[in-house]
Amino acid sequence: MRESEVIERLRRIATAPEARGLLDDVAVLDGYVVTHDSIAEGVHFLPQDPPASVGWKLVAVNLSDLAAKGAKPAGALLSLTISGPAEWALDFLGGIEAACESYGLPLLGGDTIGLPPAAPRVLGMTVIGRAAGEVPHRAGGKAGDSLWLVGTVGDAAAGLALLEQDPNATGVLVDIYRRPVPQLGAGAALAPHVDAMMDVSDGLLLDARRLAEASGCGATIELDLLPLSSAYVAERGQDLSARLFAAAGGDDYALLAALPREFDLETLSLPRGTRISRIGSLSGAGPALSLTFAGEPVELPERLGFEHQSNSDRGLSAAPMADRP
**pLDDT (tens digit per residue) in 6-36:** 878 888 887 888 888 777 889 999 999 999 9
Q: Read off the pLDDT of residues 233-290 as tens digits, 9 standing for 90 and up.
A: 999 999 999 999 999 999 999 999 999 999 999 899 999 999 999 999 999 988 899 9
Q: Read off the pLDDT of residues 163-190 as tens digits, 9 standing for 90 and up.
A: 999 999 999 999 999 999 999 999 999 9
- Amino acid symbol at 205: L
CA distance 182 to 286: 32
Quote the crossing angle between the two packed helices 86-103 and 51-67, to the nearest 10°: 30
0.85 exceeded by the pTM?
Answer: yes
What is the reported pLDDT for 147? 98
Considering only CA atoms, which of 267, 254, 255, 131 is closest in space to residue 193? Answer: 267
Domains, the chain, with CATH or none? 3-130 (3.30.1330.10), 146-298 (3.90.650.10)
CA distance 181 to 254: 9
CA atoms within 13 A of residue 11's CA, in its CB half-sphere: 11
- Asked if residue 232 lies in contact with residue 245, where contact means CB atoms within 8 angstroms, the answer is no
Number of neighbours of residue 107 by Cβ within 10 angstroms = 15
